[in-house]
Amino acid sequence: MRSPDRVESMRATGVRRRVASSALTWVLVLGVVRITVLLPENCPPVDSATIRAAVDEAVAWFDRNQAPDGTWLYRYDRGTDEVGPGYNTVRHAGVTMSLYQAARAGIPGALDIADRGTAYAVDNLVRHEGWAAFEPSSSRVTSGAAALLVAGLVERRTLTGDERHDELLADLSEFLVSLVEDDGAVLASWDREREAPDTGVYSPFFTGEVLWALALMDQEFPHGGWGAPARRIGHYLATERDDAEGYWPDVPDHWAAYGFAVLASSAGPDSDPLSDPEMEYLRRQAGFGGVQARYESQRVDTTPRWWLRGRRTLGAGLGTVGEQLGGLWVVSSADSRLSDLAPALADRSECVAGMLVDRQVDGDEAAGFGAPAAVRGAWFQFDVTQMDDQQHAMSALLLTLAMLDEGGGR
């Protein structure tokens, strides 16, 4: 038979073990959670000056890497010092648009560089039955290229007041409207050989681009009849697109964010506010942007973090996240139904801007490569940059800059 002291001693040992086991469980659980889920979100601090400096560098990249015909260096591998083949018409229009955004933000030189890009587009128009589109080579004339050209030229008109491209804007917009179906779906392209739209062919991005272009046209030319098709596209995007076109999960659509930002900002006595389903769609979209920004901010290109989160994304990938968040922030500040998201959207936008500034190649780093002119001011992944990396990163930075200038920062 055990003595009372012996029993008490065994009890005390058992209690100590139980407490130690509990403490160990806390340490293990919190430790594992910290190194798997709760990885630090690295959001380098930014302010207007650092963002403006990064945009200056990006604009300078486009200046240095523009050919006499107005096109830009499309793809460059700094590891092998080789220029990649190919060119992309939609991205040409996108870069041109982004440079007009920079010009509107007062970035020196951006307007002239963008105008040279527009000159290339004007030299390569496709005209048919009263409309115009932009396609220099292939038979596939896309709605996306025309839409981004429209967006850029509207930005230019707003900045300069110059009406020289008004007729072209109307012709390009006629092309876009010709591809909008009754339910608001947007066909991706028109076949030059058949001289007919490519029925049943859609793009995850062109629909939002066309929404944006027509919304801008409606804002700039309120009596042009561009608002109705824009509204139709907006409703379709919010209520049908992802199901009808087979996207799961939903497409995180930065172009739609631009478009809805224009619609929300235009809402007033003479125009309708966004519908509740559209607000629900934008709320979901904000979630997609938020999680992408948070996930990306946890990425580091060294092991073991690399195993857990993968490599850092492209400049274009991070830029589109920033564009989406920035566009949605505009909606949140224009429509009270989304205003509860404004602080978080501002937070994530600044985080993306901080990452972009941090990841842009500076002059010192560029000097170590074969063609510093093609490296400085750019964003790389696997030693490769494409012109749309600079485009989307720059547009995202400009949206954050505008947000900060409006006092929307953290």
Q: Which of the ranges 10-18, 91-99, 230-238, 299-307 carries the binding residues for another protein, by CB under 8 A? A: 10-18
Secondary structure class of 387 (helix, strand, coil): helix
152, 290, 319, 322: which one binds another protein (CB under 8 A): 290
Q: Which of the ranges 26-34, 157-165, 199-207, 394-402 carries the binding residues for another protein, by CB under 8 A? A: 26-34
Closer to another protein at the Cβ: 15 or 244? Answer: 15
Secondary structure class of 130 (helix, strand, coil): coil
CB of 355 to another protein, least distance (A): 13
CB of 286 to another protein, least distance (A): 5
| C-alpha to C-alpha distance for 40 and 35, rounded to whole angstroms | 9
283, 305, 309, 337: which one binds another protein (CB under 8 A): 283
Q: Which of the ranges 19-27, 81-89, 175-183, 224-232 carries the binding residues for another protein, by CB under 8 A? A: 19-27
Q: Which amino acid is at 378?
A: A
Pairing of strands 82-83, 75-77: antiparallel
Q: Which of the ranges 64-72, 199-207, 286-294, 397-405 carries the binding residues for another protein, by CB under 8 A? A: 286-294
CB of 318 to another protein, least distance (A): 16
Buried-state track 343-366, b at ≥16 Cβ within 10 A, e below 16: ebbbbbbbbbbbbbbebbbeeeeb
39 binds another protein (CB under 8 A): yes
Closer to another protein at the Cβ: 253 or 389? Answer: 253
Burial of 23 (C-beta count, 10 Å sphere; 0-12/13-18/19+) = exposed
| DSSP code, position 72 | B
SS percent in the chain: helix, strand, coil, step 5: 60, 10, 30
CB of 27 to another protein, least distance (A): 9
- The string of DSSP codes covering 289-302 is HHHHHHHHHT--SS
Q: Which of the ranges 37-45, 73-81, 155-163, 238-246 carries the binding residues for another protein, by CB under 8 A? A: 37-45
7 binds another protein (CB under 8 A): no
CB of 4 to another protein, least distance (A): 12
Rg (CA), the chain: 25
25 binds another protein (CB under 8 A): yes
326 binds another protein (CB under 8 A): no
Pairing of strands 189-191, 131-134: unpaired
- The string of DSSP codes covering 197-252 is E-TT---TTHHHHHHHHHHHHHHHSTTSS-HHHHHHHHHHHHHTHHHHTT-SSPP-
34 binds another protein (CB under 8 A): yes
339 binds another protein (CB under 8 A): no
| C-alpha to C-alpha distance for 149 and 167, rounded to whole angstroms | 13
Residue 172 CB contacts under 8 Å (≥ 6 apart), including other chains: 131, 132, 133, 134, 146, 149, 150, 153, 213
52 binds another protein (CB under 8 A): no
14, 79, 130, 370: which one binds another protein (CB under 8 A): 14
82, 112, 301, 340: which one binds another protein (CB under 8 A): 340
Q: Which tokens hold the place of 130?
A: 């009263």
19, 67, 119, 228: which one binds another protein (CB under 8 A): 19
Half-sphere exposure of residue 350, counting CA atoms within 13 Å on the CB side? 19
Question: Of residues 91-110, which lie at the interface with another protein (CB under 8 A)?
Answer: none
CB atoms within 10 A of CB 388: 23
355 binds another protein (CB under 8 A): no
Buried-state track 162-195, b at ≥16 Cβ within 10 A, e below 16: eeebeebbbbbbbbbbbbbeeebbbbbbbebeee
347 binds another protein (CB under 8 A): yes
Q: Which of the ranges 11-19, 239-247, 353-361, 380-388 carries the binding residues for another protein, by CB under 8 A? A: 11-19
User: Which positions touch another protein (CB under 8 A)?
Assistant: 11, 13-15, 17-19, 21-22, 25-26, 29-30, 33-34, 37-42, 283-284, 286-291, 294, 325, 340-341, 344-345, 347-348
